[in-house]
Structure 1
């Protein structure tokens, strides 16, 4: 699977730096094992959009926590919630811990919509897993946006409602 992604990135002249590491399953583990990577650290949430048959891939700064209820109200989606690992596997061919914006390359059915918090785009690069959780790519931000367009997933830029920090 990652070989096809790397071939696509090369064919489209999408620049990145690759960092291999032990598998990570959440943002805290990723930050601890790869603390100084050059790019915006992200949290990627794969959500089901109620009973619509559609999914949302929401990308926000890793240190933030999405207010799911407020997000559902903002997007006017009843029943917005986390998708099961089975739905993640079906839609993006991934297991939990490997979700990133690059995963939309596997969305052959076109059922995933991408939402990005615009603060991530203020960084020169964004950190993404390349379809598995034992590597991280620092992808040039403009190239990442171009990648999303090329894969048929133009992102919606939305300031997301966040839970207050503790």
Structure 2
């Protein structure tokens, strides 16, 4: 059973990571999220759950405005072939979320470490990064350095590189 938002916040607190969360109506797309701009400061994320032909999975987290070339990204992230979007069943199995709620915080559910986290270098230039806390009915703000600490605490060494155009 996937961890809950409450369990995520307890995990972060145990790490000494302070976050701020704002509730809002469900947001399913970046366009939905952009209606909140101005209310929540920092970099806002777009998440791509990808797989290659060898069933290696990647969570690529970029700024919401980023342009990503899906035909070429496999060269950058170390995939064995061109990538496609992972199926919703795999998203739930590995990250414990559904489409529309994909988030870097889903790594807390990837206890088998099947997913490689790729953070776009441009996103990481923000002091604060915003992501859904396992639900698309809230946005959680976390310091960029603390996001890296969180990922490492879940057993995922983030790969930080320029993947956006």
Q: TM-score, normalised by structure 2?
A: 0.92
Q: Which moved more, 1:124-133 or 1:74-83?
A: 74-83
Q: Which residue is equivalent to 1:24?
A: 27
Name whichever structure is richer in helix by fraction: 1
Task: Write the distance in 2 (CA, Å) between the matches of 1:43 and 1:35.
Answer: 17
Deviation at 1:33, TM superposition (A): 3.5
C-alpha RMSD of the superposition: 1.4
Q: Is there any run of 5+ residues in structure 1 with no aligned partner, and where?
A: none
Aligned residues: 161
Task: Write the distance in 2 (CA, Å) between the matches of 1:85 and 1:63.
Answer: 23
Q: Which residue is equivalent to 1:134?
A: 137
Task: Tell whether 2:110 aligns with 1:107.
Answer: yes
Deviation at 1:34, TM superposition (A): 4.7
Is contact 1:16–1:139 with CA below 8 Å preserved after alignment? yes
Deviation at 1:141, TM superposition (A): 1.1
Q: Which residue is equivalent to 2:148?
A: 145
The counterpart of 2:50, out of the listed 27, 47, 51, is: 47
CA spacing shift, 1:85–1:105, aligned 2, 3 Å: same
Deviations 1:100-120 (A, max 9, x none): 111100001110000011111
Is contact 2:120–2:163 with CA below 8 Å preserved after alignment? yes
Is contact 2:50–2:84 with CA below 8 Å preserved after alignment? yes
Task: Write the distance in 1 (CA, Å) between the matches of 2:83 and 2:143.
Answer: 31
Task: Tell whether 2:19 aligns with 1:11.
Answer: no
Task: Write the distance in 2 (CA, Å) between the matches of 1:63 and 1:77.
Answer: 27
